[in-house]
Amino acid sequence: MAKNSGEQTATEYIQHHLQNLTFGRHPDGSWGMAKSSEEAQQMGFWAIHVDTMFFSILLGVLFLWLFNRAAKKASADQPTGFQNFIEWVIEWIDENVRNGFTGKSTMIAPLALTIFMWIALMNSLKLMPLDLMPMIASLFGINYLKIAATTDINTTLGVATGVFLLILFFSVKVKGAGGFAKELSSHPFPWKALIPFNFTLELVTLISKPVSLALRLFGNMFAGEMVFILISLMFSGGLFFALFGGGLHLIWAIFHILVVLLQAYIFMALTIVYLDGACDEHIEHDHAP
């Protein structure tokens, strides 16, 4: 964790909070945790953000455990408040799937529920006091710790890549490999001479779907993280700035609850839309000469 912000410059404080706990290969060939941001950068592509992996997996397991527990203890006669909440979430997700997905697949609703809850839980960690978890981690010799996994581009790209693979899977499953290829080559222009142009254009459109999903979520979460860090810096500017910064932090945290849920919903809704398009069997077969 971080040293107290009063012992660091503002730039050092910001850089510290934006650095992941990184495991990888050091320049001398040994493997271990990076002790500085420079070491983390030198580890290259195969470095692992341990904090991102830990918190994303932890919250995924927490989601599964909570919903499994609610299912096992569900009662039609005496439902608990927790059971009512879980049922409301499931019904809301199911309604979104019915309204946005016209294909036939029992996989979409559980997928949408998993995406929404997992991303919402990962986003929600940003609402914790900025220095709390890093301070606790420092007691165990952990110098860097980012708990909000969605502020790491690797997380958002990973989830978006999973969605992209499902788009390809449903496209081939519903239309066949030939039908999917024909779909990519027959739009937007129906002339055979422009098939290479159509294919290139449609391929870029296809790839842009997971990229836009990943960058939208990462951009909003990273920007929110930066605001929290900048507000936190106000606490080192005397009593007035501490009170003012504390008030701003509370206001931003309350507002950010909406951002946390909205970004999870947008990711889920676009996933449903993209998979619905992948299952659309309408293909223009006729080409103009």
Tens of pLDDT along the chain (289 residues) come to 444 444 667 788 888 888 999 999 988 888 999 888 888 888 888 899 999 999 999 999 999 999 999 988 888 888 888 889 999 999 999 999 999 998 888 899 999 999 999 999 999 998 887 778 888 888 888 889 999 999 999 999 999 999 999 999 999 998 888 888 888 887 777 777 777 888 889 899 999 999 999 999 999 999 888 888 877 776 655 444 444 555 666 777 777 788 999 999 999 999 999 999 888 865 544 443 3
| Assigned token pair, 227 | 């605001």
Q: Round to whole Å and give the CA distance between 182 and 76.
A: 50
Residue of 25, 105, 143, 216 with catalytic role: 216
CB 147 within 8 A of CB 20: no
- What is the predicted pLDDT for the residue at 235? 66
Ramachandran angles phi, psi of 23, nearest 5°: -115, 135
Predicted local confidence at residue 246, as pLDDT: 58
CA–CA distance, 232 with 230 (Å, rounded to integer): 5
Task: Please say whether the beta carbons of 137 and 74 come within 8 A.
Answer: no
Instruction: Name the active-site residue from 4, 99, 208, 212.
Output: 212
Task: Note if 212 is an active site residue.
Answer: yes
Contacts of 284 (CB under 8 A, 6+ apart): 186, 187, 190
- The residue among 81, 118, 239, 286 whose CA lies nearest residue 73 is 81
pLDDT at 133: 87
Q: Does residue 98 have an active-site annotation?
A: no
Rounded Cα–Cα distance for residues 69 and 76 (Å): 15
Query: Would you report the helix, strand and coil content of the chain in percent, each value rounded to 5?
Result: 70, 5, 25
Q: Of 56, 96, 220, 232, which is the active-site residue?
A: 220
The region that residue 238 occupies, defined by phi over 0 for left and psi between -120 and 50 for alpha, beta otherwise, is: left
Mapped onto helix, strand or coil, the DSSP state of residue 128 is: coil
CA separation for the pair 21, 49 (Å, rounded): 6
User: Collapsing DSSP states into helix, strand and coil, what is residue 46?
Assistant: coil
> Are 213 and 265 a contacting pair, CB within 8 Å?
no
pLDDT computed for residue 56 by the predictor? 96
| Cα angle for residues 157, 165, 71 (degrees, 5° grid) | 85
Task: Say if residues 113 and 90 touch (Cβ distance below 8 Å).
Answer: yes
- Model pTM score: 0.86
User: Exposed, middle or buried: residue 277 (CB in 10 Å: 0-12, 13-18, 19+)?
Assistant: middle
